[in-house]
Chains A and B, each alone.
Chain A
Amino acid sequence: MMPELGQVCLLLALLLAGITAVVPMIGSYTENRRMMQVASFGTSGQFVFVAFAFVLLTYAFLMQDFSVLYVANHSNSELPVPYRFSAVWGAHEGSLLMWVFVQVIWALALSLFSASLPEKLRARVLSVMSIIAFGFLSFLIFSSNPFERMVPPSPDGNDLNPLLQDPGLIIHPPMLYMGYVGMSIPFAFAVAALLENRIDQSWVRYCRPWTNIAWAFLTIGIALGSWWAYYELGWGGWWFWDPVENASFMPWIVGAALIHSQAVTEKRGTFRGWTLLLSISVFSLSLLGTFLVRSGVITSVHAFASDPERGLFMLIFSGIVTGGALLLFALRGARVRVLSPAALMSRETLLLVNNILLISACALVLIGTLFPLIAEATNLGKYSVGAPWFGKMFALFTIPLLLLVPLGAFCKWNQDSLSRIMIQLLPAASVAVFAAGIAWLMARELPIKAVLGLLVAFWVMAGTFAFLWRRWKVTSAKRYTLEMLGMASAHLGLGLWLAGVVLVESLSVERDVRLTPGEQVEVGPYTVKMLSVEHKSGPNFEADYGRFQIYRGAELITELNPEKRAYRRGQVMTEADLRPHIFGDVYVALGEPLDSTGNAWGVRAYHKPFIRFIWLGAIFMAFGGVLAAAERRLRAPVSNTVKQPEPEPKPEVLSGKPALISANSAGNA
C-alpha cells in the first residue's frame, strides 16, 4: 500500500511540475498575474509530494519492505539501521529520487526567498525550474521507478554495496547533489533573463548568492568524496582523475569561473553575455556528468545503471535542456551591447584571464574524460588516460591562475597600474619566498618542483593576508564586507589546498610489505608493528581484524585496526585504519594473506604528510562561498525603476559611474 502511495505522490508531483512549467510562463507573456502566481503554489506542491515520496521510500527501507524491488535489491535484513537511510540513495532509482527531491528543495527555497524579484522574472525562473523537475520526474517514473513491486517478495533482500556502507557515504551524495542541482538556479535565471530579453545585470544580483551557496555545497560534496575514497578504497589516494570524479569536478571549475564572472557583471555591468553563457554551461556540465555517471558508458562504483534506455533518456534530456538554452542564447545573447571596456591593467582583465584559464582547465578535463569514449566509438582504439597526464596538464593552467590570485584582489576596477600593485604586494612576495625557503630547509628531500609549488601556495596565502591587512590599515569604518571576507577565505583555502597537494604528492611514503606478527616497518617518522590478525564477526560480514601498534621513536602512539571484510553476499572490502593528524596521517590497510598458514600478510603502511590540508582547504573555500552569499548588498531589492524590458541598456549610464562603484572595491585607498 505504502509504495503505491509513493507512486501516486510522484505522479501528482509530475502533474504539478507540468502545470508549473507552462502556466506561469504563459502568464508572464500575457501579463496575467494569477497565472504567474501559480508558480509559488506549484513549487510548494511539488515539494510536498516529492518529500512525501522520499519519506515513504525511506520508510520502506527502515521497515525492510522487501516486496519493493529496489529495497530488496539494495538492502538486507542484517543491514545496520544508519545504512538503511543511506541505502535510499545507494543506487540508481533512489539516487534519482534524491536528485528530484533536492531539485524541489532548491525551487521551494527560491520561491520563498524571491519576494523582492520582479514578478515576471520570478514566474519565469520558477517555471524553468519546473521544466527541469518535470524532465527528471518523468525519467524517474517511467524508467527508474523506485517503488516497483517484487513478486514474490524477497525473503531476505540482497545487500547494499559494502563500499557504500560507510558514514561518509551517508552525507556525500546529498551534499554533491545540493551542488549539482543548485547550479540549475543560475541556469534558470539565465534562461529567464534571455526570455525576458532583459540582459542587464539585475538578474545576476539575485542570482549570486544562490550560485555561491550551490558552489559551496559542490565543494563540500567533492571533498567528502575525496575523503571517503581516501579511507574507504584502501589505497590511500585522495584523487584519481576517475571519470566520475571528473564529472563532478567540471561543473565545479566552471562554477568557480561563474562566481567571478557574476561578480564582474553585477558590479561593473560588463561580461554580461559571458556570464549568461557560463550560467548555462555549469548546469549543462552537471547534466553531462549525470549522463556519464548514470548511463554506464563509464564503469565505476557510481555507474549503477548500465541500462542503455536510461542512458539515452539522459542524453536526450541533457540535449534538449542544453541545446534549448544555447539556442536561446544564440538568438538573444547577441543583442548584448558591449560596454566601453576597462583598461588593460584592471581587475576586469585579471578576472577575464581567470575565466579563460579556468575554462581551459575544464576543457582539458573534458577532453581527457571523453577522449577514451570518442576513440572507442570511432574505432580509433581503446585508450585510457592516466592520472599523471591530468595532473601535469591541470598544473599547467592552475599555476598561472594561482599566481594571479593576489593581484586580482589588489587590482582596482577599470584601471590600475601594475607597479602600484607590485609595490603593495612586495611584502607578501617576500614572506612567500622566505616561507618556501624555510620549508626547503626543513625538508631537504623536497624536489624543486615541490618547493616552487609551495612558493605559489605561500604567495596566495600571504597575498590574501596582505589584502586583509591593507583594508585594515587604509579604511576605518566598514573595513570588510562579507563578500571580501568570503573571497579571502576561499583564496586562503586555495593556498592551503595547494600546500597540501604539493606536500602529499612529494613527501608521502607508501610501503607495500609482507609482515608476520612481531615484524615492523618504518614509514616516515613512524614505525608500524604488526601484533596479529584475528577473526571478528560483524552484523553482516566476517572480518580479518588486524592489530598494529604505531610508534614514533620509542613512544607507542596508538593501535590501528584495519580490517579485511567478507560480506555475506560475497563482496570483499578493505577497511583501512588511520591515525589522523594535521601534520600527517599514518595509514594501515590489510592486503591479503600471503601463505597458507595465514600468518604473513601483505600490508600497506603509508605516511601521508599534510593530507588534511587538502580537505581543510576545501572547507575554507566552501565557507568563503557561504560568506560571500551572505553579503547584505545582494539581498537589497533592486530598484524597480526599469520596469519595461530594455533590450539595449545605455552604456553611458554604466560607464559614467565607475568612481562610485569602485568606492566599494578592494584596493581603493
Chain B
Amino acid sequence: MNEARKKRVALIALLLLGVGGATALALVGASQQINVFFSPSEIAMGKAQNVQRVRLGGLVKEGSLWRDPSTVAVRFKVTDRNRCVTVNFDKILPDLFREGDSVIASGLMQADGSLKADEVLAKHDENYMPPEVAETMAKAKALAAQAKRDHTQDCAP
C-alpha cells in the first residue's frame, strides 16, 4: 500500500465512522420524533405511559365534538367502542373529519390522560379506512365483548 492510498483508506474509515456515529446518535434521539401507534384501549391499559409521541387511531365518538366559540380549537373523543381518549386540537380539522368516522391524531399525552394533538388525519375518501384503524376496531371488538362480560363501561359521553 502506498502512502496516498493509506491516507485515503484512513479518510474513508474516518468518514464512515463519522457517518455511522451521526446515524447512531440520531437513532437514539429518534425516540422523540417517532410516533408509536396506540388504540384507545391500549392507552387505557397504560401502555403509552413511557412514550413521548403517540399516534392515536379510532373513530370520532358521536356527539363528542366540542368547538371553542372564539377560536378554531376543538375537543373530541376517539373511541374504539371499548375505551376512549379525549383529544385537544387547536388547528383546523381536515376536510373529511366526521363524527363516527375514522381518524388518526398524533401528539403528546398529557398528565390528565388526554392527547394534545398537533396533527389530525381523517380518512381520504368514502370507502377507505386506514389499516391501523381497521385493525384497532377489530381488536377492540374482542376487548369490548370481554368488557361486557366484566361489566366495565365504555366511556362517559
Contact = CB atoms under 8 A, between A and B. Distances in A.
Given A383-B35, A393-B26, A514-B72, A341 B8 contact: yes
Interface stretch (A140-148, A191-199, A352-360): A352-360
A344 B8 CA distance: 6
B152 to A, nearest CB: 25
Interface string A301-331: 1000000000000000000000000000000
Interface in A550-579: 564, 570-574
Which has the most chain A C-beta neighbours within 10 Å: B7, B16, B72? Answer: B72
A425 to B, nearest CB: 21
B35 A594 contact: no
Contacts of A393: 23, 26
B53 to A, nearest CB: 7
Contacts of A234: 95
A592 B92 contact: yes
A591 interface: yes
Contacts of A594: 67, 72
A385 interface: yes
B12 interface: yes
Contacts of B11: 344, 349
A243 to B, nearest CB: 14
A386 B33 contact: yes
Interface in A419-467: none
A654 to B, nearest CB: 16
Contacts of A564: 95
B78 to A, nearest CB: 15
Interface residues of B, number: 40
B1 to A, nearest CB: 10
Interface string A377-398: 0000111111011001100110
A381 B72 contact: no
Contacts of A573: 95
Interface stretch (B80-88, B108-116, B124-132, B142-150): B124-132
Contact of A353 (B15, B22, B36, B67): B15
A364 interface: yes
Contact of B70 (A384, A388, A514, A570): A514
A602 interface: yes
A604 B90 CA distance: 12
Contacts of B72: 512-514, 591, 594, 602
A382 B7 contact: no
B53 A386 contact: yes
Nearest to B25: A396
Contacts of B15: 353, 356
A484 B95 CA distance: 49
Interface string B59-84: 00000000100111000000000000
B30 interface: yes
B37 A512 contact: no
Contacts of A574: 95
B141 interface: no
A117 interface: no
A299 B8 contact: no
A365 B19 CA distance: 14
Contacts of B53: 386
A343 interface: yes
Contact of B16 (A301, A356, A591): A356
Contact of B4 (A161, A341, A512, A570): A341
A572 B95 contact: yes
B34 interface: yes
B80 to A, nearest CB: 14
A388 B33 CA distance: 7
Contact of A384 (B2, B7, B37): B37
B129 to A, nearest CB: 10
A522 B144 CA distance: 49
B5 A341 contact: yes
Given A301-B124, A396-B26, A381 B33 contact: no
B92 A383 contact: no
A504 to B, nearest CB: 18
Interface in A585-631: 591-592, 594, 602-604
Interface residues of A, number: 43
B43 to A, nearest CB: 13
A342 interface: yes
A253 to B, nearest CB: 14
Nearest to B91: A512
Given A514-B71, A570-B126, A382 B37 contact: yes
Interface in B30-59: 30, 33-37, 53, 55
Given A343-B4, A360-B19, A386-B53, A392 B35 contact: no
Contacts of B124: 299, 301
Which has the most chain A C-beta neighbours within 10 Å: B19, B22, B35? Answer: B19
B155 interface: no
Interface in B94-109: 95-97, 106
A604 B16 CA distance: 45
A586 B71 CA distance: 21
Contacts of B130: 299
A602 B26 contact: no
A512 B73 CA distance: 9
Given A344-B7, A396-B22, A513 B36 contact: no
A384 B93 contact: no
Which has the most chain A C-beta neighbours within 10 Å: B34, B71, B97? Answer: B34
Contacts of A396: 22, 26
B90 A512 contact: yes
A90 to B, nearest CB: 14
B33 to A, nearest CB: 4
Interface in A500-528: 512-514
A395 to B, nearest CB: 10
Nearest to A363: B23
A352 B19 CA distance: 14
Which has the most chain A C-beta neighbours within 10 Å: B12, B23, B55? Answer: B23
A228 B96 CA distance: 20
B37 A389 contact: no
Contacts of A513: 71-72
A271 to B, nearest CB: 12
Contacts of A342: 4
Given A385-B30, A386-B34, 12 more contacts: A299-B128, A299-B131, A340-B2, A342-B4, A357-B19, A384-B35, A384-B106, A386-B33, A389-B26, A512-B90, A570-B126, A572-B96
Interface of B: 2, 4-5, 7-8, 11-12, 15-16, 19, 22-23, 26, 30, 33-37, 53, 55, 67, 70-72, 90-93, 95-97, 106, 124-126, 128, 130-132
Interface of A: 161, 234, 299, 301, 340-344, 349, 352-353, 356-357, 360, 364, 381-386, 388-389, 392-393, 396-397, 512-514, 564, 570-574, 591-592, 594, 602-604
6 contacts: A352-B12, A382-B55, A385-B30, A386-B35, A392-B33, A396-B26
**Closest 9 pairs between A and B when the two form their complex, measured CB to CB:** A382-B37, A591-B92, A389-B33, A572-B95, A602-B72, A602-B92, A344-B7, A512-B91, A384-B35
